[in-house]
Structure 1
Amino acid sequence: MEVDEMSMIAIRDLSFAYGGGLDAIFTHVDLQLDTDWRLGLIGRNGRGKTTLLRLLMGELPHEGSIHANVGFTYFPFAVADPQRDTLCVLRESIAPFDAMEREMEQCLAALGEETTERYFELLERYQFHDGYQIDGRIEAELSQMGMSTELLGRPFSTLSNGEQTRALLCALFLRRDRFVLLDEPTNHLDERGRELTAQYLGRKKGFIVVSHDRSFLDQVVDHILSIDKCGITLEQGNYSSWRENERRREQQAHMQLERARAERERLELAARRAADWAGKTEQGKFAARNAGLRPDRGFVGHRAAKLMKRAKSIESRREEAAAQKAELIRQLESAEPIVLKPLPPEREKLVTAADLTIRYAQRSLFEKLRFSIGRGDRVALTGPNGCGKSSVIKLVMGEPVPHEGTLWRQPGLIVSYVPQDTSFLRGSLRDFTTAQPVNEAVFRSILRKLGFSRAQFDEPMESYSAGQRKKVLLAASLASQAHLYIWDEPLNYIDIVSREQIEQLLLQYRPSMLFVEHDRAFVDNVATEIIRLGRQEGEDR
């Protein structure tokens, strides 16, 4: 295939397995990507999304080839000195301007032939990276991202996680001749931050973004790279168009599967009949001889052999149909249903808040908040980071949070809680379930339906990815019987397939819920009521 050296990333016959293991992550992958595309990379947790980005970065040995006429830049990346002013941090994230400036000054002071030549080399490199205009370009990028340029004069460490993320994204897109690899950039962004970042990336080109936020992908990408059990597929369009096409493919595969099953049954019957005919024909030779007849044994034997050959042919076709059926089953990534059995509450109302106000350091997070959670209500708390969502959750959990107003909880309320943090998970799954009020069989069944392989059940939880650890907490919650399910940002690092499974579950069983989540599609699809806290404009604080 002809490859345009100036604009393509060519992946040829790529194969990779960690530690040279038999369980390959990628096998004989061929892809050709345009460096102007905005690609969304999706797939189950553990399918190899981050691995593919690391392969593009040249960090992992592999078979096959990856050729590109641009360099790759990976996000997230560490900041060497977060105590420096934000402008300095962003400048150094683009190119080593400070070092180049110091060396150019030294070259000018030395006044020699070699130093003069070195000075012009540095000057050419400095100008290539827009060194003389870089401060203004940084300010312009921040403005495009909806951020105040006042942040540039503050120490980078004083910015919120969301502000740091968005600022560093701006720096990435100021690098020259780079193709940007974004590995879940929305993890520290609230709803407003995601919207601003989506608008910003929608005006850019030349990147791959790993994200499980469907609304975000719909706003940002023009192509989808999907990793499943069968490999990697490339399709033009956003996530919604890919998902609709995927539904059609699943329906077609199910129809083919039913036809393959019917064909297998028909072939099995035909094979048995042909084998019976062949046996009876062969027996006929001896029966005729015993009766004193002289049949044409050559003709009869030929007929028997022909019938046996036909039986074997039918058997071969049966095996082919069985293989086709197995392949169709392997290709179908549709999720099995998950069973949830919430406890019925004793009263219609589980929680009621009246004139609730929370202040910290003389600053009100919110005032006069009123809400209630009844049987089957799924209440979403939304708002920028720092607006008091976690404080509301703590109050409903029964923790002592200084507040004004009243918050009433149904007596004997049983809560199933999924926290943001997963770092406390240690040891084996068996030890974890022993310490939890969950049914281990149901817990393991849910994990399998959320994409866990059987081998992962024997691995220590310290080795799990962030998404796998979060699935452990979600599975434990789903396997628990409770009156009220409280989930604090449950979908961080969770793949799209699992998100859609969980949505279907909640819509089917209608548990009473209070949850915080920045995935707009999830909130829109699941919540029966949305409580918006704090200001809706401004930065991620």
Structure 2
Amino acid sequence: MILLQVQQVTRRFGASVLFSNVSLDVPEHGRVALVGRNGAGKSTLLKMIAGETTPDEGQITTKRGLTFGYQAQNAGLASTKTVWAEMMSVFAKLQTMEKRMHELEVSMSDPDIIANQEQFNQVSATYDQLQQDFSDQNGYGYQAEIRGVLHGFEFDEDYYDKPINELSGGQRTQLALAKLLLERPDLLILDEPTNHLDVETLTWLEGYLQGYPGAILVVSHDRYFLDHVVNDVYDMAHGGLVHYPGNYSHYIDAKAERLRREWKEYDKQQTEISKLEDFVNKNIVRASTTKRAQARRKQLEKMDRIDRPEGDEKVARFTFRPHRQSGNIVLDVVNGAIGYDNQTLCTPVNLDIKKHQAVAIVGPNGIGKSTLLKTILGRLPAIQGQIIFGTGVDTGYYDQDQATLHPKKTVLHELWDDHPTTPEGDIRSILGSFLFTGSDVDKAVHSLSGGEKARLLLTKLALRHDNFLMLDEPTNHLDIDSREVLENALNEFDGTILFVSHDRYFINQVATEVVELEPSGTTRYLGNYDYYVDKKAEQDAYAAQEAAEAEAAHPTVDQPKQTQVNYQQQKDQQKAKRKLSRQVEALEEQMNDLDAKKTAVETEMSAPENFNDADKLADLQQELTDVTTQLNETEESWTEKSLALEDFED
């Protein structure tokens, strides 16, 4: 069944046509991606589909009763409620049902109603139906679902009571998406949902969307995300829309094959046209062949000519070429500690970067990835440790905040002022290779889009000719085409690279090794992003196996050795102390087991695949209640016996 159809839709801005006669289908349970260059009209089409604007021509139709949720790019949740209250508001209907169920339970315990069999049966039937409806609508699991989604976006219980309007813009954007996921519309319409998410959150979001019961229409530049989530791609280019079944990688291959086939057909026809025209030109004036030439001319006039294939639009073309080669040792960081105002974010930091390596820094938001680059560059002081550059190292830096650009300068002078001896024509030519042509070079920097500023920063970096590039989120603001150009330039770069990125596809294409930052320090993985993920999974599995084996073994508590004493009373006292000590240790072990069991149940309740299983969630909730009760009782017993043991010590 088709949930939504875009039929021959056109959008104009004045005399300019952004796109025309575009068509798109979203099937039931579909996973549809809309890709294309910045400015192609992707967000404009999404706004039309969401009903915020209307097409100039064509129509958009939906299945009767279709519910949809639209998350605009970087649109934050505006609310004065707390995080928990706002998420709970999604389930107001269930809360009303729950309240009514409690009222009916009270009624069923009323002696007067119990005495009236007919009235009791009526109340009981109403309660049974309401309870069934409540269960069918995930009434027993919606709070666990809220906790699971908030946990996925890295909002722990410390955030639950915080007013949303006091949070950062990025957090409000994540909460808007969290609320939308909890609402579960038939169709999710998402415009760049992966912006500013760290890798852990991205991985969780991919898993959640893979199991989402409705359909999804998404615009994203995150190619790794598209590969793992979508199964249909619509490419918006040249004012049109072309459909490719499959994920992003299939789209790339299919698009290349389509263009190859179109060029083959075009070239074949052009060869035929050239032969016919050549025959006409040579034979039209000769009496003996003029009739054949006229026939060829008519053949040319009647020919249905194939348009020249439209490949990718013009893309930036650039390279990074170092002026000189560095030594084999490029950078060493030894037992470093990074942070702000003596607040350590990560330690110990150890890096050993050699010539021609491309090292990716990964880790959760806030762990200090950008701080590490700035500390290495000396822009922030290191809390401790040594930072040692090798011989002949020339360092170039790409700042994700774009703070090194001068907002009042023009594009031309932003570059020319750094290289005043270079002729203006050469500067314009260089800017042209980065897609700044004509009047673009006279634009003020502050008027540029994020993508244009990113290309300008890359232009400046390419002209420095450094041999060690330090890049902080270089793919932010770049469309897919520009990201691929950057990947190619970096892969051909005869130097060394240290970069921070959330773009997992980009890391896969560029990195020769990955360094993970955690509060406890750095861990090195000798491969690309997929290798890093596989190794992490192996390590987690091994740790889980060790923990399970340790739990199964239940090692006995070592008995303290006691010195023999002559008095029976002292012996009895020591015996009682040992017994109490064993009890305390046994209770500690029991608390650890119960705490681990509680965590495991909570994790299972938060799993997306359990959100729709009311019976499973009810069982898990009961199990959680039982474990929590046991844990509380064990803690009380442990406290009592620990105090008694302290009396012995005294």
* TM-score range for the pair, normalised by the shorter chain length: 0.7 to 0.9
Calculate the TM-score normalised by the size of structure 1.
0.76
Whole-angstrom distance in 1 between the partners of 2:356 and 2:364: 26
Q: Which amino acid aligns with 1:86?
A: V
Shift of 1:506: 1.6
Counterpart selection for 2:207 from 164, 186, 199: 199
**Residue 427 of structure 2 corresponds to residue 445 of structure 1:** no
Q: Which amino acid aligns with 2:84?
A: L
Q: Which has the higher contact order (CA 8 A, sep 6+)?
A: 1
1:388–1:463 CA distance, 2 compared to 1 (3 A): same
Q: Which amino acid aligns with 1:246?
A: K
Whole-angstrom distance in 2 between the partners of 1:395 and 1:317: 70
**Residue 320 of structure 2 corresponds to residue 327 of structure 1:** no
Q: What's the counterpart of residue 118 of structure 1? A: none
Whole-angstrom distance in 2 between the partners of 1:389 and 1:272: 68
Counterpart selection for 1:74 from 59, 70, 76: 70
**Residue 284 of structure 2 corresponds to residue 278 of structure 1:** yes
Counterpart selection for 1:313 from 294, 298, 301: 298
Q: What's the counterpart of residue 227 of structure 2? A: 218
**Residue 335 of structure 2 corresponds to residue 355 of structure 1:** yes
Aligned residues: 475
Alignment identity in percent? 25
Counterpart selection for 1:376 from 356, 365, 375: 356
Shift of 1:515: 0.9
Shift of 1:336: 7.2
Q: Which amino acid aligns with 2:513?
A: E
Following superposition of structure 1 onto structure 2, how do residues 478-517 of structure 1 map, counting pairs within 5 Å? 478-517=462-501
Q: What's the counterpart of residue 8 of structure 1? A: 3
Q: Which amino acid aligns with 2:434?
A: L
C-alpha distance after superposition, 1:255-304 (max 9, x if no partner)? 3344345334433422322xxx23132xxxxxxxxxxxxxxxxxx8xx74
Q: What's the counterpart of residue 86 of structure 1? A: 83
1:443–1:50 CA distance, 2 compared to 1 (3 A): farther
1:218–1:146 CA distance, 2 compared to 1 (3 A): farther
Partners of 2:327 and 2:393 within 8 A in 1: no
Shift of 1:135: 4.8
C-alpha distance after superposition, 1:91-130 (max 9, x if no partner)? 45x4899xx99xxxxxxxxxxxxxxxxxxxxxxxxx9xx8
Whole-angstrom distance in 2 between the partners of 1:408 and 1:144: 38
Q: Which amino acid aligns with 1:222?
A: N
Whole-angstrom distance in 1 between the partners of 2:166 and 2:78: 15
Whole-angstrom distance in 2 between the partners of 1:231 and 1:21: 17
Partners of 2:77 and 2:173 within 8 A in 1: no
1:453–1:45 CA distance, 2 compared to 1 (3 A): farther
Whole-angstrom distance in 2 between the partners of 1:242 and 1:203: 22
Shift of 1:311: 5.0
Shift of 1:314: 5.7
Partners of 1:425 and 1:469 within 8 A in 2: no
Whole-angstrom distance in 2 between the partners of 1:374 and 1:233: 45
Whole-angstrom distance in 2 between the partners of 1:182 and 1:471: 26
CA-based RMSD: 3.8
**Residue 262 of structure 2 corresponds to residue 266 of structure 1:** no
Q: Secondary structure at the match of 1:533?
A: strand
1:140–1:379 CA distance, 2 compared to 1 (3 A): closer
C-alpha distance after superposition, 1:431-478 (max 9, x if no partner)? 322234496245323323xxx776755655444433333223223323
| Higher alpha-carbon deviation: 254-263 or 40-49 | 254-263
**Residue 501 of structure 2 corresponds to residue 526 of structure 1:** no
Q: What's the counterpart of residue 43 of structure 2? A: 50
Counterpart selection for 1:237 from 233, 239, 246: 246
Shift of 1:418: 1.8
Shift of 1:16: 0.4
Calculate the TM-score normalised by the size of structure 2.
0.64
Partners of 1:353 and 1:371 within 8 A in 2: yes
Gaps of 5+ in 2: 98-133, 520-535, 541-602, 604-650
1:431–1:336 CA distance, 2 compared to 1 (3 A): closer
Q: Which amino acid aligns with 1:13?
A: Q
Partners of 2:400 and 2:474 within 8 A in 1: yes
| Higher alpha-carbon deviation: 512-521 or 56-65 | 56-65
1:131–1:192 CA distance, 2 compared to 1 (3 A): closer
Shift of 1:505: 1.9
Following superposition of structure 1 onto structure 2, how do residues 126-205 of structure 1 map, counting pairs within 5 Å? 135=143, 137-142=145-150, 148-156=156-164, 164-175=172-183, 177=185, 179-204=187-212, 205=214
C-alpha distance after superposition, 1:16-62 (max 9, x if no partner)? 022x222x111111222224212222111111111111121233342
Whole-angstrom distance in 1 between the partners of 2:272 and 2:493: 37
Shift of 1:85: 1.8
Partners of 2:431 and 2:437 within 8 A in 1: no
Gaps of 5+ in 1: 102-126, 282-299
Q: What's the counterpart of residue 126 of structure 2? A: none
1:520–1:177 CA distance, 2 compared to 1 (3 A): closer
Shift of 1:171: 1.0
Shift of 1:308: 5.0
